[in-house]
Structure 1
Amino acid sequence: MMRIEEIESFVAVAEELNFSRAAERLFIAQPALTRQIASLEKSLGVKLFDRTTRNVRLTEEGQVFLRGARRVLEALSVAEGEIKAMASRKESILEVGYVYKVLSLPTPEWVDRFVAAKPGVVARSSQEDFARLNNSLLSMAIDVGFYGVTDMSFIPQDLEYLNFAEGHEDIVLPTDHRLAGRPFITVEDLAGETFAFPFTEPTKEFSPAMREIAEQGISVSFYQTGFEESALSLVEKGEAITGLSYAHGAINRNVVVVPFRSVYSIKGCMVWNPDNNKKVLYEFIHFVEQITGLKRN
C-alpha cells in the first residue's frame, strides 16, 4: 500500500525532474528518496519515470499519476487546515459544568467577566448532576466544573479544585408548612417529608440534609423535576419541599426559607482535571485566582 510520504516524494521528483534537487526540497537523503519511488512503482506495478544518467522524465503513466497525486495532496492540505482550525476553535471554548445547587453562586459572573476580558473566547455551560459532572471532568468533556460538597474527600483524587466559599443549606417550604415558623430545621424534623429536586435525586456528597438523612436512616421521598423552577413550583403548591445552597438568590415564589442546622456545610468548589492542557482553562483559573485572591489546593 502506498504511503503519503511516497506520494509527496513522487510529486517533488516530478516537479524537479531531478532526484538530488527533490531530495534537498524534502530534506531527505537521495538514497531514501530513490527507495520511496521504487516502492511506489512496485505498489502501482508501473514505471513512473524514465531515468538516464543525465535526464529524468515522467512516463505516460507517471503523467496520469501526477494529476491524481496533486489532487490527493491538495485534499489532504485542505483537510489538515480544517482540522487545525477546528482545534483552534476548541482551544478558545471553555466548557463549563454546573450542579444546579450552585447556579446562583458568583461563578456565572466570573465566567461572564472572563469572556468579556478575552476576545475570541466562548464559554459553553451545561448542567449535570454530581456524578456525571465528575465523569465529564475526568474525561475532559468539561473543562471546569462548579459544585458544592459536604466534604472535600468526595472530590475525585484525579481532579484539582479551588475552594471558594462555605455555608449552610436552606430548606424551602410552603408558607403553611408545619416547619415554616421555625428558626432552623434539623434532620429529625424532615422525617416523612417529600422533596422535589431538579434533574436528579440529591446525594450526601453535596447536600448536608441528604447526608444526615442517609446517615441517620430518616425516611423521606422524592420528586424529580426538570428545572429548579419546577421544584419551587411544587413547593409553592404545597406538594413538596426542597433544599437550596446558602448562596441562592432571591426566590420569586410564595414560599418560606428556613436554615438547615447541620454538622456539615456546603463547600463551594471550582474543579478541573490537571491533565487537561487547554490554555483557556488555565487562563480562567488564573483569572479567578486574581479576582478572588484565592489559590488552588
Structure 2
Amino acid sequence: METRELRYFVAVAEELHFGRAAERLGIAQPPLSRAIRQLERRLGAPLLERTSRSVGLTEAGVVLLRESRTALDAVDAAERRTRRAALAPTGDPGVVLATKAGASNGLLSKLLDVYAAEPGAVSVEVVLCGIGEQEQLLRDGRADVALLHRPFDGTAGFDTEDLGSESQLLVLPAGHPLTGRTDLRMADVAALTAPPMARWPRTDGSYPDGPGPQVREHSQLLQLIALGRAAALLPESVRSHLGEDLVSVPVIDAPTVTTVIAWPPQSRSTAVAGLVRTATRL
C-alpha cells in the first residue's frame, strides 16, 4: 500500500463523506473514489459501507483506519526527525522531550540537571504541552521522548518505564463547603455539581459530555477553579503549585496516577536511551 492511498482512506474514514474528504485532500471526488475501490480490491475486503445517503466503516475499515493512523504517524515522524538531524548545526539534533505544562515539575528539573552532567549528554529541548498533547507529539515525531501520566494519557504503541505513582486530590475554590473535609471519596466527586468538574480532551481531541468547562491548559484550569467555575481531580504533586485561592482535599479511593517516560519502540537514539536510563535511576 502507498502512503498516498492511506491518506486518502483516512480522510474518507474520518469525514464519512467523499465530497468533504476530496475537498480536504484538495482533489476531485472521482479519482478519490477510484483510489478507495482500488485499495479495497487489493486488500480483498470492503472497507466502507456505502448507501445513497451515508458512508460507514466496515470492521475491516475500522482496523485499517487504526493501522493507517499509526503508519502515517511513523512516516511523518521519520521525516521530521531526519530533517531535524540534517539541520542540527553540530550534526547532533539533541533530544526533544514533551511534557504537560505544570506537571512533574520537580521530576523534570532534577532529570534535566542530572542528565546534563552525564558523559555524552546532548542538548534537551523541552516542549511544554497542553493537556493530552504530548502523546501526539511523540507519535508524529515532533518529540523523541515524553513524560506521560496513566490513566490520562495513552501509552499504547510506546516503550515505557514507570517513574512513580501518586494519589489524587480534588482541587476546589477556597471557601467551598467540601474544603472543610479531611478527605473525600469518588462518590463525593461524582455527586459534585457546583462547581462542575472540568473536562479535558480525550486522545482523539473530543471532550466528554458534561456541564463543566473545556480546558486545554493547566494554568487555564487552575484559574477557572479559583473563579469558582470548575473543580478538578488532579495528582497530589499539584499541591505545591496551588495559591491561597485554591484548596485541595485528598480523595482516598481515587485511582493512582503513574508518571512514565515513553519513547517510540523503533527509536535507536543513544541520547534517548541515556535520558531514559537517567530517569529510571532517579
Q: Provide TM-score, normalisation by structure 1.
A: 0.55
Question: Residues 271 and 265 from structure 1, CA distance in 2 versus in 1: closer, same or farther, beyond 3 angstroms?
Answer: same
Match of 2:235 in 1: 245
Match of 1:264 in 2: 255
2:245 is the alignment partner of 1:254: yes
2:100 is the alignment partner of 1:99: yes
Letter in 2 for 1:255: L
User: How well do the aligned residues superpose, as a CA RMSD in angstroms?
Assistant: 3.5
Match of 2:155 in 1: 155
CA distance in 2, matches of 1:125, 1:241: 28
- Counterpart of 2:218 (choices 220, 224, 228) is 228
Question: Residues 106 and 120 from structure 1, CA distance in 2 versus in 1: closer, same or farther, beyond 3 angstroms?
Answer: closer
Letter in 1 for 2:155: I
Alignment of 1:40-119 (within 5 A): 86=87, 89=90, 91-100=92-101, 102-117=103-118
Letter in 1 for 2:250: P
CA displacement at 1:284 relative to structure 2: 1.1
What CA deviation, in whole Å up to 9, does each residue of 1:194-247 have, x standing for no partner? 2346xxx1559xxxxx9xxx8xxxx85332346423322222222222232112
Question: Residues 180 and 147 from structure 1, CA distance in 2 versus in 1: closer, same or farther, beyond 3 angstroms?
Answer: same
CA displacement at 1:281 relative to structure 2: 0.8
Question: Residues 90 and 185 from structure 1, CA distance in 2 versus in 1: closer, same or farther, beyond 3 angstroms?
Answer: farther
Runs of at least 5 residues in structure 2 that lack an aligned partner in the other structure? 1-82
- Identity across matched positions, percent: 16
- Counterpart of 1:273 (choices 247, 251, 264) is 264
Letter in 1 for 2:277: H
What CA deviation, in whole Å up to 9, does each residue of 1:254-294 have, x standing for no partner? 221101233521111111112122221112112223x42xx
CA distance in 2, matches of 1:271, 1:244: 21
Question: Residues 109 and 183 from structure 1, CA distance in 2 versus in 1: closer, same or farther, beyond 3 angstroms?
Answer: same
2:178 is the alignment partner of 1:187: no
Greater radius of gyration (CA): 1
Question: Residues 261 and 176 from structure 1, CA distance in 2 versus in 1: closer, same or farther, beyond 3 angstroms?
Answer: same
Match of 2:177 in 1: 178
Question: Residues 228 and 118 from structure 1, CA distance in 2 versus in 1: closer, same or farther, beyond 3 angstroms?
Answer: farther
